[in-house]
Structure 1
Amino acid sequence: MKILITGSNGMLAKNIVAAFKSSAAVHELIQVNRDDGDLREQSTADDIIRRAAPDLIIHTAARVGGISANIADPSGFLMDNLLIDSSVLRAASEHGVKDLLYLGSSCMYPRDYRQPLVESDILAAPLEPTNEGYAISKIAAAKYCQYASAQFGYNYKVIVPSNLYGAGDHYDLASAHLVAAALGKAHSAKVQGSKTIDVWGDGSARREFTFVGDLAQWIVDEHHNINNWPTILNVGCGIDHSVTEIYLAAMKVVELNGTLEYDLSKPTGMKQKLMDSSQAIDKFGWKPKTSLIDGMKTAYAEFTATHA
């Protein structure tokens, strides 16, 4: 099978490639990243997909960032992701690629809605304002997958992971997500001899984080069943933690004895967005197994090895 993976320099894509290379099945992997062209350009996506003629596309390419990055440039996050997705999805459809796996985001779900969130809750209520632009772009792409599957008989499926962390994460505090930011801040404080770490908001917001290696392995193990999946499928670990708990876990992993200072002038974001992943667990072999503390230890070991 020829499998084209977009965003191949990203955390999830790197883990998917590693899992495929460790599997017994033999696949031809075609990895696409920024060096291969700007996927915001329709002609670039057309050329890449036409030449590759893949059997399956795993579309992970996106412009991503943490809460501060989304607040700073909502128009950019909206437009860049709309362009990336429209180019790739249109090219896939027009070149007859029948199987495509699109990576959604838990940001697609409404703000302060029922918990846990089920797949049908998308578009049921207003979005979280701090990442609304990004969320709208992901919802638009998910809808195209739904339409293309119904209209053309394709298998364009959307998986909605919780927040991810693990090997290959980004630790730049301007764009890092919560776990990476917490580990990075705890590490910096330890190196600098500081005893305090700053936290945006009051620390009460809760977040669900899934170890990226668990999701990558599931995709590799189950991708051949994509035609049986529903259009949208949640794949989270089923447990959430408060921001405070995540920072305390980071301090434990880094072995920092310190305190947290809460900046109440900063936004907290959604209070909670725990997802119901029972459908993936009960019907499609999803079995996340890595605890937050064990996953953070793995992530921090990689961080120290690469940021020495």
Structure 2
Amino acid sequence: MSEVLKPSDVIFIAGHRGMVGSAIVRALSERGHCNIVTAGRDEVDLLDQASVARFFTEHDIDHVVLAAARVGGIHANNTYPAQFIYENLMIQCNVIHAAHRAGVERLLFLGSSCIYPRDAGQPMAEDALLSGRLEPTNEPYAVAKIAGIKLCESYNRQYGTRYRSVMPTNLYGRGDNFHPENSHVIPALIRRFHEARIAGADAVTVWGTGNAMREFLHVDDMAAACVHVMGLADEDYAAHTEPMVSHINVGTGRDVTIRELAETVKAVVGFQGELVFDPSRPDGTPRKLLDVSRLAALGWTPSIGLREGLEATYRWFLESDQVRE
């Protein structure tokens, strides 16, 4: 398949300080891209339309990666639903519209597998979008991400832009958020088992029954997939998408139970105590496995196994400032 990205192209990474954005910066740099544009909030406020428009007029940008988002786990989604829907909608609208106004023809929007209905058939194919009710615990976030997909599709239809969307499964790795309350399941488990091991605790309690199934992708694999999809020639991308189903699932195609995940994290961290599950806490969606056949047909498959990825993530956590928070 042909490649359209050139090393000299100017690529703006919105959200470069986040786990995914920083991984994409690394992936592009490793591939020889030397004109990567990043900006902190002091340079551009993605929630402010005028600020974003001004930023695009000041930079001659060829491509955009929209990785900026407010993200979090079940607790954060339940606690801050208004912020999750408002901030994500505003970021997406501002960046996509400003990119179009500035003549940027190629943009990659990063969504989430939570866009699919709670009871979607497994594995979830791209055409399951809008076929049923969403999972209530993260509906505001999911609605915002669905809007982002439809923004890209609509601008493509009306203006002839080449905006693409990728829907990652659950991500983890270097740069993750290990906050005790607002983190996703893998960093939450790593921190909990690490602190329990240091404290000599007898047991660690995990939310839910442990029966829910989840798919996990290392962030470096996600970044590699993003660069691959972003660089595909139009004819290659179009051969595996449709005008109204233009997004691409990104995952491993394999899932594990939360119990299996917790047992693996426990082993990686070296915690010797008991593993306890609290069924009074929500499990969330029973299963979330992506159909990644479309991505495989486009020539990309992941390379980092779960145990390998967890070990690397724990090493990064031990070296990070978050271990002392």
Q: TM-score range by the shorter chain?
A: over 0.9
Q: Deviations over 1:204-250 (max 9, x none)?
A: 11111101111212333453216342320001111111111111111
Query: Partner residue of 1:275?
Result: 290
Note closer, same or farther for the CA distance 1:157–1:222 as it changes in structure 2 (3 Å cut).
closer
Amino acid at match of 1:155: R
Structure 2 residue matching 1:256: 3-state secondary structure: coil
Distance 2:146 2:227 in 1: 24
The answer to whether the aligner puts 1:85 opposite 2:92 as a matched pair is: yes
TM-score, length of structure 2 as denominator length: 0.91
Asked if 1:236 corresponds to 2:244, the answer is no
User: For 2:38, what is the secondary structure of its paired residue?
Assistant: strand
Contact 2:228–2:300 (Cα < 8 Å) also in 1: no
Q: Which runs of 5+ in 1 are unaligned?
A: none
| Structure 1 contact 71–130 (Cα < 8 Å) conserved | yes
1:46 has 2:61 as partner: no
Secondary structure class of the residue paired with 1:210? strand
User: Deviation of residue 264 (structure 1)?
Assistant: 2.1
- Structure 2: runs of 5 or more not aligned: 1-8
Work out the CA distance in 2 between the residues paired with 1:26 and 1:211. Answer: 22
Q: Distance in 1 between matches of 2:171 and 2:233?
A: 21
Residue identity (%): 37
Task: Kindly indicate whether the alpha-carbon contact (under 8 Å) linking 1:199 and 1:261 is maintained by their aligned counterparts in 2.
Answer: yes
TM-score (norm 1): 0.96
User: Match for 1:94: what amino acid?
Assistant: R
Secondary structure (helix, strand or coil) at the match of 1:36 reads coil
Match of 1:182 in 2: 189
* Partner in structure 1 of residue 199 of structure 2: 192
What number of residue pairs does the alignment pair up? 306
Question: Which of residues 25, 28, 31 in structure 2 aligns to 1:20?
Answer: 28
- CA distance 1:226–1:158, change in 2 (3 Å): farther
Separation in structure 1 between the aligned mates of residue 233 and residue 177 of structure 2, nearest angstrom: 29
The Cα offsets for residues 146-195 of structure 1, whole Å up to 9 and x where unpaired, read as 01111111111000010111111110022211111111111010011112
Query: Which residue number corresponds to residue 165 of structure 1?
Result: 172
**Structure 1 range deviating more: 251-260 or 216-225:** 216-225
Cα RMSD (Å): 1.3
How far residue 34 of structure 1 moved from its aligned partner, in angstroms, is 2.8
Partner secondary structure for residue 24 of structure 2 = helix
1:215 aligns with 2:222: yes
**Consecutive aligned runs of 4 or more in structure 1 exceeding 4 Å deviation:** none
Counterpart check, 1:132 vs 2:139 = yes
Letter in 2 for 1:8: H
Compute the displacement of 1:26 (Å). Answer: 3.4
Provide the rounded CA distance (Å) in 2 between the counterparts of 1:140 and 1:70.
17
Secondary structure of the corresponding residue to residue 206 of structure 2: strand
* Aligned mates of 2:179, 2:37 — CA distance in 1: 28
Residues of 2 paired with 1:235 and 1:179: CA distance? 18
* More deviation, 172-181/54-63: 172-181
Letter in 2 for 1:241: V
- Shift of residue 286 of structure 1? 1.4
| 2:179 counterpart SS class | coil
Kept in 1, the 8 Å contact 2:18–2:175? The answer is yes
Specify which of 258, 268, 276 is matched with residue 273 of structure 2: 258
Letter in 1 for 2:159: F
For residue 74 of structure 1, what is the aligned residue in structure 2? 81
Separation in 1, partners of 2:223, 2:126: 21
Cα distance in 2 for partners of 1:108, 1:73 equals: 18
- Asked if 1:5 corresponds to 2:13, the answer is yes
